[in-house]
Structure 1
Amino acid sequence: MDDKNIPFQTIDWSLIPRTEHAGESGIAYWQTMQFDGLRVRIVEYSAGYVADHWCQKGHIVYCLEGEVTNEQENGDSSVLIPGMSYIVSDELSSHRSVTQTGVKLLIIDGDFLQLK
């Protein structure tokens, strides 16, 4: 088996350490599984969270709990509530997350989202 392959596994997210990342306001808590060219995270943003940067990386984002506004630097925005997703490739958007009430997201990103 190639080292880049991911064998079948289950993830008990309660056992994955949380890291803290300050936003412009509020805190983000990440639980991260890192594989070769792939990152899978459960991310929780506290109430009042505003990201401290405009992100240009691609993501697949699925809202598990709460509500988040996805602001784009061009002025567009969208809202995710539980059961909703957004998907974008690298460098096709300059976006950031903002939440008034807090949110819990599943975020997947990696090499497969690079522009072709």
Structure 2
Amino acid sequence: MTLDGFAEAAIDWAATPATEVPGESGAARVRARQLGAAQLRLVDYGPGYCADHWCAKGHLIYVVAGSLVIEHEQSAAAHELEAGMSWAAPDGATPAHRVRSEAGATVFIVD
């Protein structure tokens, strides 16, 4: 990952507008900023959230609060993450993955 193409910046996430994104179940509130080729997101997954799609995009995730599970398509393998934990996947990751959170979680994502 190359971090270039943007000016030094401070981001006030509380002042960044949130977009509600429905999942297969539940919803997430997403605050996002684009810095060059990198997208930064602060995501609040509501209780009972399950993503409505499988993803093969690369991500770096840090769980700020709560807990979530990274599920893999056509696989029983899953990563259970709690506050203070991270997960990483490269672009083109196979099998594809998605997020599920029973109790809700707040995560910081770089992709």
Q: What TM-score do the two structures reach when normalised by structure 2?
A: 0.91
- Separation in 1 of the partners of 2:23 and 2:101? 11
In the alignment, structure 1 residue 28 sits paired with structure 2 residue 28: yes
- Separation in 1 of the partners of 2:70 and 2:60? 13
Count of paired positions: 106
Contact 2:5/2:37 (CA < 8 Å) preserved in 1? no
Q: What residue in structure 1 maps to residue 49 of structure 2?
A: 49
RMSD: 1.0
> Deviation at 1:49?
0.3
Structure 1 segments unaligned to the other structure (5+ residues): 110-116
Q: What residue in structure 2 maps to residue 75 of structure 1?
A: 76
Give the secondary-structure state (helix, strand or coil) at the position aligned to 1:97. Answer: strand
Q: What residue in structure 2 maps to residue 37 of structure 1?
A: 37
In the alignment, structure 1 residue 101 sits paired with structure 2 residue 96: no
Structure 2 segments unaligned to the other structure (5+ residues): none
Identity percentage of aligned residues:
37
Q: What TM-score do the two structures reach when normalised by structure 1?
A: 0.87
